[in-house]
C-alpha cells in the first residue's frame, strides 16, 4: 500500500480521478483496543461492517480473536486473516449448506436463531455430522425496541414468549442456550441496551433453563460529524455509554454470565476516509466520482452526517465565490442512474469547483462492504495515511442529513 502523511498530500501527489480510500491502521488498532479494554466480555468484531483483508489483519494484530460472521465468504476472510480466531455465526436465518460448511469445515460452534425451523435445520446437520449438541451454543435472538439509524428488530428477533419456547426447545435437545439481541446500528438512545436487558431478564426467568452466555450485539455508536448550524445530538461518549451498559448488566443480574459484544461501526468508522473528485460543477451541483452505489449508501440511508474536508486543486488559478462561505451543494454520483443523486447536500466552501477533491471522513463502516460494480464503477484503491482525519485544521464542510430542494 502506498503511504502518505495526510490525505491532502496524497490528493496533491496522485491527483486521483478515481476515489481513494485512506486507511489509518494506527487509528483502527486504537479503536479496537479501546473497545476491547472497555467491554467486560468477548469482543466479536462484526465482519459485515468492513471485511477487507487489510482491516481483518490489523484487527488480528490488535488482539481481536473473535469475529461475528454471517456467510461462507466471511468465514473464509476470517480464516485467512486470523486462522486461530473464534467465529460466531450470528445470522439468525441461514442456508442449510452454509450451516453444514460452518459446522463441518470451519468447526463453528456458536450460532444464533429466532425460529424453531432454524433449530430443526441445525439439528439435522448436527445429527448428520454426529456432533454432540452439548458442544454447541445456540443463541436465541430476541427482538428489541429503540431508536437507531438502522432498526434491526424489524427483520429479526423472537418476541418474548416465543423466545421462552425456543430456549426450552433447544435445552431439551441438549444444546447450550444463549441469549442475544441487536439494538439497532448507531443507536440514538442510550437507554436502548437497558430495555433489551430487561426483556432478556424476563425471558430468562420464564424459560427456567440454564443460560450460558449473553450477547449484547452491536449498535455502539461511531463518532460522526454534525451540522454545525444545529445543536449537536446528545449522546454519551463511548466510555460513558459503556459505563451505563455495565451498570445495567449488573442491575439486571447478568454480570455472572460470560458476555459477548459484536461491535462494527464503532471500531472501524474512524480509520478510513475517502478522497473523491469533483468531475463537474454545474451551478450548485457537484458531480463526483463516487455515489450511492459505491461508498456513500450507508451515510444516506442511515442519515449519517460525515465530516468533509475541501482539497482545492492548486492547478485551478481562478475561482468564483467566497472561500469563507460554506454553502450546500447537491451531489450527483458517478453512475448514469438518476437515482444516484444524494438526497442531502454537501456543505462546502462556495469556491469548490471542477477538478477539486473532497476528503470525506469517518467512512470506514459499511462503505467498502456495500459498494457495487454497477455501471462499471468500483472504487478499489487503498492507500495508507499516517495522520488521523481529525488531526490538524477542522474540516470545513460536512455531508449533511438535511434535505435540499433542487
Ligand atoms: C448480527 C449483527 N451483529 C453486529 C452488527 C454490527 O452492528 P454495528 O455496526 O451497529 O456495531 C450487525 C449490523 O448489522 C449485525 O447485524
219 in contact with ligand 1, CB cutoff 6 A: yes
220 in contact with ligand 1, CB cutoff 6 A: yes
24 in contact with ligand 1, CB cutoff 6 A: no
Question: Is 336 among the catalytic positions?
Answer: yes
Q: Which three cell numbers stand for residue 352?
A: 469548490
Return residue ranges of the chain for CATH 2.40.37.10.
3-21+270-399
Per-residue pLDDT tens over the stretch 203-226: 999 999 999 999 999 999 999 877
Atom of ligand 1 nearest to the CA of 365: 9
Per-residue pLDDT tens over the stretch 26-54: 999 999 999 999 999 999 999 999 999 99
Return residue ranges of the chain for CATH 3.20.20.10.
40-262
Atom of ligand 1 nearest to the CA of 221: 10
Per-residue pLDDT tens over the stretch 123-150: 999 999 999 999 999 999 999 987 777 7
Question: How far, in Å, CA of 179 to CA of 257, rounded?
Answer: 11
**151 vs 136, residue with greater confidence:** 136
263 in contact with ligand 1, CB cutoff 6 A: yes
Lowest mean pLDDT among 35-39, 126-130, 194-198, 338-342: 338-342
Rg (CA), the chain: 23
The yes or no reply on domain 3-21+270-399 and CATH 3.40.630.30 is: no
pTM of the model: 0.95
Cα(264) to centroid of ligand 1, in Å?
Answer: 6
141 in contact with ligand 1, CB cutoff 6 A: no
Q: Best of 140, 217, 298 to mutate for ligand 1, by most ligand atoms within 8 A of CB? A: 217
Where is mean pLDDT largest: 89-98, 345-354, 387-396? 89-98
Classify strands 326-332 and 285-288 as parallel, antiparallel or unpaired: parallel
The CATH class, in words, for 40-262 is alpha beta
Give buried/exposed letters for 76-102 (b at 16+ CB in 10 A, else e): ebbbebbeebebbbbbbebeeebbbbb
Cα(225) to centroid of ligand 1, in Å?
Answer: 21
Per-residue pLDDT tens over the stretch 272-302: 999 999 999 999 999 999 999 999 999 878 8
DSSP string, 222-257: PP----TTSPPP----HHHHHHHHHHHHHHTT-TTS
Amino acid at each position: 500500500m502506498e503511504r502518505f502523511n495526510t490525505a491532502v498530500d496524497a490528493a496533491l501527489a496522485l491527483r486521483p480521478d478515481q476515489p481513494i480510500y485512506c486507511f489509518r491502521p494506527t487509528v483502527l488498532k486504537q479503536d479496537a483496543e479501546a473497545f476491547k479494554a472497555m467491554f467486560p466480555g468477548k469482543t466479536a468484531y462484526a465482519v459485515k461492517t468492513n471485511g477487507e483483508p487489510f482491516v481483518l489483519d490489523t484487527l488480528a494484530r490488535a488482539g481481536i480473536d473473535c469475529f461475528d460472521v454471517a456467510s461462507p465468504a466471511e468465514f473464509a476472510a476470517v480464516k485467512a486473516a486470523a486462522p486461530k480466531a473464534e467465529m460466531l455465526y450470528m445470522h439468525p436465518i441461514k442456508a442449510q449448506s452454509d450451516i453444514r460448511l460452518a459446522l463441518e469445515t470451519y468447526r463453528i460452534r456458536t450460532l444464533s436463531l429466532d425460529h424453531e425451523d432454524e433449530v430443526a435445520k441445525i439439528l439435522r446437520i448436527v445429527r448428520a455430522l454426529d456432533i454432540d449438541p452439548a458442544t454447541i451454543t445456540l443463541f436465541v435472538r430476541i427482538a428489541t425496541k429503540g431508536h437507531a439509524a438502522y432498526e434491526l428488530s424489524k427483520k429479526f428477533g423472537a418476541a418474548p414468549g416465543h423466545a421462552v419456547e425456543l430456549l426450552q426447545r433447544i435445552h431439551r435437545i441438549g444444546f447450550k442456550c444463549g441469549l442475544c439481541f441487536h439494538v439497532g446500528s448507531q443507536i440514538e438512545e442510550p437507554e436502548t441496551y437497558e430495555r433489551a436487558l430487561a426483556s432478556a431478564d424476563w425471558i430468562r426467568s420464564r424459560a427456567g433453563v440454564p443460560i450460558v452466555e449473553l450477547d449484547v450485539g452491536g449498535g455502539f455508536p461511531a463518532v460522526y460529524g454534525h451540522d454545525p448550524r444545529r445543536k449537536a445530538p446528545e449522546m454519551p461518549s463511548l466510555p460513558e455509554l459503556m459505563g451505563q451498559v455495565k451498570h445495567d448488566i449488573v442491575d439486571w443480574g447478568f454480570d455472572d454470565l460470560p458476555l459477548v459484544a459484536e461491535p462494527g461501526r464503532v471500531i472501524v468508522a474512524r480509520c478510513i476516509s475517502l478522497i473523491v473528485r469533483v468531475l463537474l460543477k454545474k451551478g450548485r451541483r457537484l458531480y463526483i466520482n463516487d455515489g450511492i452505489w459505491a461508498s456513500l449508501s450507508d451515510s444516506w440511508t442511515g442519515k449519517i452526517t460525515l465530516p468533509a474536508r475541501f482539497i482545492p486543486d492548486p492547478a485551478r488559478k481562478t475561482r468564483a465565490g467566497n472561500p469563507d462561505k460554506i454553502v450546500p451543494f447537491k451531489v450527483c454520483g458517478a453512475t448514469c442512474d438518476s437515482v444516484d443523486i444524494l438526497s442531502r447536500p454537501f456543505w462546502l466552501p462556495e469556491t469548490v469547483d471542477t477538478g477539486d477533491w473532497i476528503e470525506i471522513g469517518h467512512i470506514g463502516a459499511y462503505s467498502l462492504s456495500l459498494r457495487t460494480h454497477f455501471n462499471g464503477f468500483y472504487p478499489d484503491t487503498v492507500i495508507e495515511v499516517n495522520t488521523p482525519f481529525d488531526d490538524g485544521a477542522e474540516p470545513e464542510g460536512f455531508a449533511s442529513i438535511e434535505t435540499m430542494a433542487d
